[in-house]
Structure 1
């Protein structure tokens, strides 16, 4: 009996080991083999979105700078819930990970096309704006070539250790494949955790299968198709793309479609050539020098530089509405601007899964209710302080609004004089202006960061890049 029991236990151990091995192999297939904890890294990046991925790519030119980048996702995924077929980047393909700083870098988008055997296909496509899905594939391709990028690794705590000859950050990282927690030591940090979906506090308790943020749209598309009514809330690019996709499928699915926004209308983004120069290092430098109160006031009036809908998407929506109305057909569609959603609650009744929106028309100051099976909040994204920074809260300087104080070189201001730095990626909208989330400025910001890390000019940063002048000096 003991022998049988022993064999059974041994069998369980072997099966568990085999399962663990399979998990580890799966994790390694998604990323690179785990980097050692014994190394003192020069920079550790938390989060692997396009900006920290670009930093990892550009750091290949400086192998003496030891780097590690971690992300809790098992592989690179860029806004997976909004990878709608037919949508494109809103910036030219030059805004890849490296080209604006290093056009000859092997991790450029053009080299990706070459390796994929797609360069002639792209040549004949004759478009500057590439499919969003292909941009995601390109980034996955680049991440697969960077051993410094470790997926399935969640940064859970960061501490400053000043007990040795030099102070270092200790980063506890949970390995989702092995279930182990690893502790890495680094001189500097690069925060690239990105933004999170923004939904009004009063609506968050209603989020679920039928009420969700646009970030989940592709995951919930079948839910929309089965619904009798769908409502989109918001007036930015995501709202426009979702409305267009649902409009294109409306006849086949038979749902009613409503689109509400607080904005005064469904307006296009500013996309003139001189307007685009606001997404340049020149404007960033000008904006950074302004007093914070002036910056906040300016940003209030710049919404259409980055929050509107592309003119092409608006045209496609109008064309689809026109086509659907041929023959005088009455459309089960409503577009209503200047409309604020005040409240949401489930509709009481027999077996109803609808929710009731209480709305107010801001101009007419009239209230009305609207019932819908599905509600999609295309209400943008917001930046939050990563939980893993909890131990550093007292080290970081915060402004009066509870935001990071950020230096011109993208370093967070600290309360102590340290040789260590914390660099911020796309968390400096309030200090550096509208270009912070723009892919076209990612390589510029990474050039500044790398030059700072190296203590020398690795990537030249030009002072004059556009035709217009911002400010007197």
Structure 2
């Protein structure tokens, strides 16, 4: 029996490829589509669903609305279908709760359950060439459990790789985790420990939220936050700056020179990185002040501190840091260390990686030997195998080429999905549900 060849195989089924699934159904239903997802069920940041935290994003910038305001899969319709529309509109919040948005994403994902294989983590992508022309006509994708899938095109949306800075990058200790693992790691560390000591490393929105959450938990006796900055910065929320999340800015950024891209990123960094919203900054400052009033040392914030070492110790994980201005030092042991240090982008700098691990076989085929992938305006890999390449797209990994809208934000998910679907429609001839 001949193995089925899908028109489109999506790797990962988080928000980016869920938005793609909705766009394919509404714009190109003629294609056969399948997705592989390593999780056991659809989920969005389950390790960071902190009580009271919001999404920092306008709710109408959801999986579909900017592309199709009439879509069944909108956040507004999710609220309506679940009898929560009026109650939600009455909430005294600027942005939806992260917990509710996670439920929305799961709600949309459920409509496409038959197209998804959960607990299927892609392990390898093998280009399959035509025996006569040498053209790469499709791909064989193998999962960790040995299953194989054939597809005429691939849309990669595995999520970004966590950035683990020195000295943590060489440490293999279950008590040191990236923020994505925070809630389960906290629960594990708290087992049999009613005086938990937690360290949070970083100066981002997530770092501030983690400090607030950890310091409010029963059984946590001490929380310390480490940042190299002089202070936690407020996010740039100017409406002028937020035009960085407009579709038009993607065009501007993509066609800019490398020098101007770098200049724009330096200027706009505080719209997304190493900053926090004023509401959580105010909460943390008040909590720190209250601790001083009560003469407690349960919350400690160490600014201007560069961490010099992190090592397993008899009583936990020992962190040693130094104040880069006055030279004062800190040394302390913790039961849990959480790295709120962000994620890698594509590139060759410190906080970047040349390409996702799965795409290294394709990266090696680049004609000019470039160390990083060449990405087209439509998010498609270019400059490989003389252009004789079945389409491969990066969905949500292109900040270095397309700008801040690809930095893990929901703002352009729907528009990016549309661009990918339109490109696929130009390059694939539908072969039917059982196409071979």
Confirm or deny a common fold (TM above 0.5).
yes
- The answer for the alignment partner of 1:60 in structure 2 is 25
Distance 1:171 1:90 in 2: 39
Matches within 5 A, 1:26-425: 38-61=3-26, 62-125=28-91, 127-146=93-112, 147-163=114-130, 167-174=136-143, 179=145, 181-186=147-152, 188-222=153-187, 223=189, 226-249=194-217, 252-253=218-219, 255-307=221-273, 308-326=275-293, 328-347=294-313, 352-383=314-345, 385-396=355-366, 402-415=371-384, 416-418=386-388, 420-425=390-395
Distance 1:312 1:405 in 2: 40
TM-score with structure 1 length normalisation? Answer: 0.80
Deviation at 1:273, TM superposition (A): 1.4
Q: Which moved more, 1:226-235 or 1:103-112?
A: 226-235
Residues 45 and 68 of structure 1 are in contact (CA less than 8 Å); yes or no, is this contact kept in structure 2? Answer: yes
Q: Provide, for residues 241-277 of structure 1, a one-character-per-residue CA deviation record: whole Å limited to 9, x for no partner.
A: 110012223xx43512211101231111111211211
Say if 2:397 is the partner of 1:427: yes
Change (3 A) 1:358 1:322: closer
In structure 1, list runs of 5 or more residues that go unmatched.
1-35, 457-473
Deviation at 1:311, TM superposition (A): 1.0
Q: Does the residue aligned with 1:231 lie in a helix, a strand or coil?
A: strand
In structure 2, list runs of 5 or more residues that go unmatched.
346-352, 428-436
Deviation at 1:450, TM superposition (A): 1.4
Residues 340 and 359 of structure 1 are in contact (CA less than 8 Å); yes or no, is this contact kept in structure 2? Answer: yes
Q: Does the residue aligned with 2:322 lie in a helix, a strand or coil?
A: strand
Structure exhibiting the larger radius of gyration computed from Cα positions:
1
CA RMSD of aligned residues (A): 2.5
Aligned length: 409
Higher RCO (C-alpha under 8 Å, 6+ residues apart): 2
Change (3 A) 1:207 1:95: farther
- The answer for the alignment partner of 2:425 in structure 1 is 454
TM-score with structure 2 length normalisation? Answer: 0.86
Distance 2:288 2:398 in 1: 39
Q: Does the residue aligned with 2:225 lie in a helix, a strand or coil?
A: strand
Change (3 A) 1:355 1:103: same
